[in-house]
Amino acid sequence: MVAEPYTADDPETRLALFDFAFENAAIGISLVDFEGRIIRGNAHPEDIEADLILFKQVLQGRRDGYTMEKRYLRHFGEIVHVLIHVAAMRDAEGRVVRFISQIEDITRHKDHERQLAERAAQLELALEAVRGGFWQKDIVTGKCETSDRLAQLIGGPTAARLDLERYVNRVKVNDGAQADLTPLIAGKIDQNVAEYRLDTVQGERWMRCDRRLLRDSDGRPVKIAGMAIDFTEDRRRIEMPEETARTDALTGLLNRRGLSIEFATLHSADGFAVLALDLEGFKAVNDVYRHASCKPPLHA
């Protein structure tokens, strides 16, 4: 049996080959007449009108080409996002004789955009449950800026974003070392957490800031991203038992433990302090043990 040689000359074969190529197109195919009517295509229905408007403007001589984002539908339902560039070639009289199109598949880029948008929405929801916000510093340019939410937490509802200088100026002087970014900028560490006090429209607030260093492909530091959270109430709950253990519940004055702690922090002997002792019941002790030891009476 001798097989007949393959030929694509007959109309049915050519049509079958065209249909196969059309249905399995990697991106999209559109057959358009010179009046701008689509004879056949797999463009997304919602994108056809915008494309036709621009196409007709080219035919009318109002523009020589256009660029737009467009979607195509593959035969199994998958959507392909593309960036299409269309340019018209005209004859000496200005009539369109040929169209040249370039199509770039941007599906992956669109997927990344969608994922980023979803993460941004999730993050926005998370931030609504906490008091805080973001800031970032570009190490290369030196530019630093807070997010709108963080700026409003610090300066009020109408506050503009803060740069690094204005943000640092609100950090308490004694906490300046905690807010220092030098180790991150130098690339000595990739992450750290700092706690410091910040002056805000609501008074002094304790902030916990998670800072992370971003590097380029060569490992050089390029950016620092920070997330600052107001944890003032948590800090007060921690400090309350400590304060209670150091002070008298009735007067609020330092007790013996508090005095020992504060005394150790004194930097000089200048000034004075008053030590008050509760001598209730002391007379009975004094009367009994003074006579036994033959010592003079004790006086307060």
How, if at all, do strands 132-138 and 96-105 pair? unpaired
Query: What pLDDT tens digit does each residue of the chain (300 aa) get?
Result: 455 555 556 667 666 665 665 555 556 566 666 665 666 667 888 988 998 899 899 989 999 999 999 998 877 778 889 998 999 998 888 888 888 888 888 989 999 998 988 888 887 777 777 788 889 999 999 899 898 889 998 999 899 998 888 998 999 988 989 889 999 999 999 999 999 999 999 999 999 999 999 999 889 999 999 999 999 888 888 777 776 767 777 777 777 777 777 777 777 667 666 766 666 666 666 666 555 555 555 554
Give me the residue label for tokens 């010592």.
Answer: 295
All CATH 3.30.450.20 domain ranges in the chain, comma separated? 11-109, 130-230
User: What is the distance between the alpha carbons of residues 254 and 263, in angstroms, rounded to a whole number?
Assistant: 11
Indicate the pTM of the whole model.
0.49
The interaxial angle of helices 232-246 and 256-264, nearest 10 deg, is 110
Q: What are phi and psi of 140, to 5 degrees?
A: -70, -50
Q: How far is CA 267 from CA 76, 172, 246, 260, in A?
A: 79, 20, 20, 14
- Spatial CA neighbour of 164 closest among 190, 136, 199: 136
Q: How far apart are CA 197 and CA 203, in angstroms?
A: 10
CATH of domain 130-230: 3.30.450.20
What is the CATH architecture assignment of 11-109?
Answer: 2-Layer Sandwich (3.30)
